Structure formats: C-alpha cells, structure tokens
Chains A and B, each alone.
Chain A
Amino acid sequence: MSLEFIEGNEAIARGALKAGCRFFAGYPITPASTILQYMLELLPPEGGVAVQAEDEIAAIGFCIGASMAGQKALTATSGPGISLYSENIGLAIMGETPLVIVDVQRQGPATGSATKGADGDIQFVRWVTSGGLPIIALCPATVAEAYELTVRAFNLSERYRVPVFLLSNKEISLTRESVDLDAIALLPPVARTPPTCDKDYRPHGFARPEEVPALANFGDALVTRYTTSTHDQAGYLTANPAVIQEMIDHYVAKIEAAADEIALVKHDRQDGAETLVVSYGITARAAGLAARAARANGRKVSSLTLQTLYPVPEKAIAAAMTGVKRVVVPEMNMGQYIREIERLAPPGAAVVGVNKMNTTLLSPDEIARQGGLL
C-alpha cells in the first residue's frame, strides 16, 4: 500500500483536477483557504486559471462566467462566504450553470470560530437562495471521500446543469489522514455535450420537464443567451405564467427525477435491528464506532451514512428505517438534517437527535449514551 499523508482540502483540489476542473476563483477564509492555495499551484501548469477575487461575490461571479464559457469551475469558502454567494447561487440555478461549491463548514454563526469545525450549514445550503429551488449536495466523511465526491460533484453539476455543493467540515478539510488516493476508483469525468442544432439554439430547451438542456458555451459555434430574469426556453424574458411555471417545474423535475441516481448512501445493516443511526460527514465515523460498541453490548443497531444530502435520498432512508423503532441522528449542529428524517420516519418510530455545537467532535461515547444505544 502506498500512502500519502494529506488534508481533505488537498484531496478536494486534486479531485477537482481529475474531474477536469480548469478554473478556480476564491476568497481566503479559514478553513477553506488552502483549497485556493492548492488550486493556485495545480491549475496554471495545466493551462487552467486560479485567481483570488476581491470578495466572495466576485469569486462566484468569475466562476459562473468561466463555466458558461466552457470551463469546469470550482469555488470554495466557509459559512460567511456562502452567505455572500447566496444571490449568485440563485443565478446559477436560474441559468442552469454547472458549478461546484465547496463549503468547508466552520463554527458559526457569523465569524464564529474560524479554525473550528461544525456542520452548521446543512439546511443553509439547501435553502441558500430565494426561490427555494433544488440544488445537489454531497458530504464526505473522510479525506478519501472528499477526493472521490469532488469528482462526482463535477459530474453531477455537468450532468444536471446545477450548482453542486461539497459539504466539507474543518475536521475533514484540515485534518491530515494517511490515504491511498491511487487506490480510489474515480468516476470518469463527464464532458459537456454541445448542442446538436446548428441554429435556433435554445439555452434552456427541453421536451419533457426533467430533461437537461444541452449547453452551448459562450465562444463556441452557437450564439447563446444567459439571463437572471424569468425567461422561456430560448432565454428570453417572459411574463407568461404558463411558461414561467413550465420553467420552474423543469428546475425542480430535473433534480427530483434523478434523485435515485444521485442518491449515495452506505447501509451497515444488522438483521432485526430496532435502532438505526443516520449520520453524515465527520460524525458518521463516530456513529459507526458507536453502532459497533452497541452491537458488542448485544444491541441490534443498523447504521446509515449519507453521502448525498440533497436531493434527500428518501427511498434509501425510508428503506433503512423499515421495521425500526428508534432512529438516532447525531449532528454537529442543533438539529438540522433530523427534519428530513422525521418526515420520512415510519409512524410510531422515535427520532432522537444527538446534538453538539461546541467546536469539538461528537464522540462515539456521546452518540452511544445520548442516543440510548447502550
């Protein structure tokens, strides 16, 4: 085995490169800054561009421009920067722009604790912009997954023309781990397929609402349009309610129809388990240990780890909860994803949160005790 000893942010940067990312713009913020640093090092020799922007609004603006001009683009920040990205995330949804956004979560709110971890942005990234339309969010638990899921995030953003979040945490991004990146089978990068028409290109054209329109890059053969305003399939402003609803249905349908395809979970199932632990991110690792300890104690406990947070992998979650009396949801926040679990839980099942937001990791012991696993 040949190992490296790298932090999650390096894995993200190198994953981005493998995915074909050739444009990065960011604004320094702990614990995301080292992604900017790695990209400044990795991209120029590949003919790519990595720049430090004047603020987060400019950073994501550069990325949206570059993406629409044909480059796979990445930006990375933490909670305060996501706040500043908000309006442009709406633009990227509206314009169906492929874009990967890394949120290296840190303790908030506001400036919070710059160098400490939390998972405080779990619902924030889902409802990050006005309109409430869907995005995709993936959540790694390890440095290796950060690498793997970055590639997947790029593929999904190209495939569905939507911003994709990679929800990291200081605890993954700035923790070094021994890891064999070369042993990880990455997905082959998804390339943009140019439209087949030679004129009358419709930037948002679809026959069925769930269809993802072909994307013509600015500067390629076809003249194209992009707009923040409510528009029709051709990208022209419209006030026609029927057309507007059709477009909104499309933004929703293209993600929801693909939910099963996007869903990525790990189910460590125990026959006859009455308790299920549902977790994601760094906490999934302690949750796994807590489940193991419970089993060693003679308890029957299954564990479900979510790598896809949005669209909510409803089928997988519901299936894992079948027959279960108690669902434990440990989170490094005051109870965010538990809302999704509660609405999917079978009648009569108790859904219990284990919550902490004091900058320290939830320990296996805390999860086991407070979750009633022992």
Chain B
Amino acid sequence: MSGTALRTYMTDQVGPLPFCPGCGHDRLLKDLDKALVALQIAPKNLVIVTDIGCIGLADRYFVANAFHGLHGRSLTYATGLKLARPDLTVIVLIGDGGCGIGGTHLLNAARRNVDITAIVANNFNYGMTGGQHSVTTPSGGRTATTPSGNIEAAMDLCATVIGAGASWVYRGLGYEQGLANRIVEGIRHPGFALLDVCELCTAYYGPRNELNKKKLYELVAASGMGLGLLADKARPEFGAAYREAARRAPKRQRVTVIEAAFTHSVAKQTGLVVAGSAGQKIRSTATLFARAGMLAGLQATQKDDYPITVMTGPSVSELNLAPDWIAYTAIDKPDYVLLLSADGLNKIRASLGRLPPSCLVLADEGLDLPETDARLMTLPLTRAAKEVGRLSIGTIALAALLESEKLFPMAAFEAAITRYQSKDIAEVNIKAMNAGIALVANTA
C-alpha cells in the first residue's frame, strides 16, 4: 500500500478486547494482527468476516471492513463477497460451534476452493452460550451439556475439510510461536485455506477439564489428528475458474420473436388439451402449435402437467388460443382434447365425462374411451407415427386437428415447424404434418 506502512490493524478506539482473562481468542487476534502487518493489505481491500460466539466479537477491533453475520453462515457471506469482488482479501473468523452448525458451508467452501482464509478459534466448546459441547469436544470432555463426559466422538475439522478437497490446511495451538507466519501463508494461499487453532476457553472448557497450555498440547497430540501443515496443494480457485468458464461459454440466442403473418378463424378463447406420455414430445409440440397460432395472429397460453420423474408416465399440455389477451389460463371446459396414449387418457379420464357436446375428442385408435357427450374422432395416430418417426405423434395429431377444424391455415403450422425447429427435426415434422392431413383426408 502507498504511504506509511501500518504498524497494527487493531484499533484501541473501541476499548480493550472483550474476552475473559487468558482466553485463547485474545492471543489469536493478536497473531492475526501480526500477519496483517506483515501482509500490509489496504484496509479497504480487506474484509474480516466473523461468525457468532465469543470469537464473533472480534470484528470491531480491526481497521478493516467488518462483516458480522449469522451463526455458522460466515463462509457463505465470504463466498458472496469474494465472488462479487475478487480483489478483496477475505478472512473468516469462526468458532468450533460455527463449524458445527455451518458444517455444510465448511465442506462446500473447501470443495469449491474459493479464495477465503478460514481461521477456526477452536476452544472445544461454545464459549458464548455457557460452555456447551461442540463438534470438536474431545470424547470424555466435560461441558455443560455432557455431565458425565462427552460420549460423542470429536470431529477432526482438518481431515473433514481435506476430505472435501481443501487445498491448504494447518492445525496449530493458540499459543505457539510463529502462528502469525502460518496465518500469512494461509492468506497468501490462492484458494480455500483453513487454520484449525486449538486454544483455551478459560471460563468453561479449560477449568472444567483442568486444561492448561501443556495439557492442551498433550490433548491435541494424543488425539492423533495431527499438528502442523496437513494439506498444501494447487487446485483451481473457484472464482478464477468461474470467470474462465464464463469467457468460454457460448452466448445463446434464446429469444424467439413471432410476428403475425397469417390469419385465423378463432372467434373466442379456445382450450385445447393434449394428453399423452413422456417421450412423445407433448410439451414441445404444444409450444410449437401455440407459436403457429401466434404466427396466425392469436394469443396463447400453455401449462404443462407431468410427473417429477419426467421420463415416465403421462404428459399433459393445456393450450389456450384466443384472438385477444387470455385472462383465465385454466381449461375447465376444453374445446378440443387430443388423446395420444393410455397414460394421457388415464390422467384426464375423470374430466372426460364432463365434456360438452361442443368438444371434439381426437383420439388414437384402440384407446379404452369412457362415455362422453363430446364428438369423437379416432385416428390411427400411433400407426402413422411408426412410419414417420416415434416422436412425431403430437405433430400428426395437431395437424389432423388443424386440417379438420381449420383454426388457422396449415401454412402457419408449417412456418412454425421450419422457423422454430432445427433442420433435421423440422424435416421429420413436415412429414408428420402431412401424415396428419392425410389421416383426416382418408376419413372424409
């Protein structure tokens, strides 16, 4: 940075640090300060994101941008800040409690490898709320919520994030010499770095378990979880990888603008239900037909109904076509019902009994149709589709409907097929359209 170097990033303007005498957080913040002094990051480019808990009180003591968020969620804000402003240096101060409640964010920050440095102030319990056990409380550890000693196993934070892909991981003790240098390395690491700093809560976990500095070392050493640098590998940083992928991504043209070029003979809102099966291209064919109607100067709406398991079961599309704006998009009394498969028929079977005589049901041959007052037209749709192409049954049926009912010129349907579909699909669908026309001609 320009001008004189900062000799400290801590401010005495807001009073002394708030921690209990001997609390490990105190020493940790001073080591962080040393690291920042060594790095000389401009305060406006530095963000200290704090989690909740006693460690979460830290943000106000630094001359840097401060972001104090919700319990366990600090890594999410850090990710958002870093993705939005890659020039920021983002440091997260989080407790062992925060690592527990925000476990999924810890895993995913490590997995994504966003350039954030997470410093865990790991005092084996929830200091702020009265010394309850956390995910890192050693087994047997005495806390407010483990009266006969912790019967849960302690989570190895370092192994956990390494398993998730963390690229730089260090475990140390809060009072160790040189921790500041390790923090410097963590911040310099271009990716997700985590320092698990084991320390003393002098109000709760320490006295309850007769811990002191020496016993703290013995405890961590005996856990077998390892001390020192535990991972250091090069992995693509998420933000950089994202920007690189974005540069390569094709800019897709998705907007399809439709100018009316044909006429229509639809006098009122007309409801059309197309009921078939998954794999019959019901939805896309209905969209195509609506666009054809729009080419003929109609307004349209489309709603689809299909099971979440998209590749099986029924698929139903409801189309409205009208000369004016369509206010009510449900179809309570359809004008046309197209039944393309037994799945589709069964899905809407209950509504068929209520159809008015003015409705035309156009059904594939061989379907077990219920009693209805509606007009009925059965055509060998599946057979025709076998000749043209399996996926074309919808186009065949809609062309047959159009040929029979003359809602708008067939040329509009043809134009929609050739304009809005890729060349090879359009070729098949033109054949399908002609097959539909022929089916109606044959019945006439």
Contact = CB atoms under 8 A, between A and B. Distances in A.
Given A49-B84, A218-B85, A288-B327, A65 B68 contact: no
Interface residues of B, number: 66
Interface string B48-59: 000010000001
Interface string A51-65: 101110110111111
Given A49-B83, A58-B76, A69-B84, A361 B301 contact: no
B313 interface: no
B222 interface: no
A178 interface: yes
Contacts, number: 207
Contacts of B255: 4
A225 B105 CA distance: 23
A2 B295 CA distance: 10
Interface stretch (A168-176, A186-194, A315-323): A168-176
Contact of A44 (B47, B245, B308, B327): B245
A45 B247 CA distance: 7
B268 interface: no
B66 A174 contact: no
Interface stretch (A150-158, A226-234, A240-248, A337-345): A226-234
A65 B114 CA distance: 14
| Highest count of chain B CB atoms <10 Å: which of A71, A91, A177 | A177
A63 B76 CA distance: 9
A364 interface: yes
B327 A289 contact: yes
A41 interface: yes
A61 B80 contact: yes
A23 B79 CA distance: 12
Contact of B77 (A30, A61, A363): A61
A4 B257 contact: yes
Contact of B105 (A54, A229, A285): A54
B264 interface: no
Contacts of A114: 308
Interface string A1-14: 11111000000000
Main secondary structure of the interface of A (DSSP, over half): mixed
Given A51-B83, A69-B88, A178-B299, A58 B108 contact: yes
Of the listed residues B63, B76, B290, the one surrounded by the most CB atoms of chain A closer than 10 A to its CB is B76
B249 interface: yes
Interface string B259-296: 11000000000000000000000000001001100100
Nearest to B251: A45
Question: Residue among B43, B77, B251, B258 with the most chain A CB within 10 A?
Answer: B77
Interface string A253-293: 00000000000000000000000000000100110110000
A309 interface: no
B259 A68 contact: no
Interface string B308-344: 1000000000000000001111101000000000000
7 contacts: A5-B302, A69-B84, A176-B301, A219-B45, A219-B87, A222-B44, A228-B70
Interface of A: 1-5, 23, 25, 30, 41, 44-45, 47, 49, 51, 53-55, 57-58, 60-71, 73, 87-88, 91, 114-115, 171, 174-178, 217-229, 235-237, 282, 285-286, 288-289, 360-361, 363-365
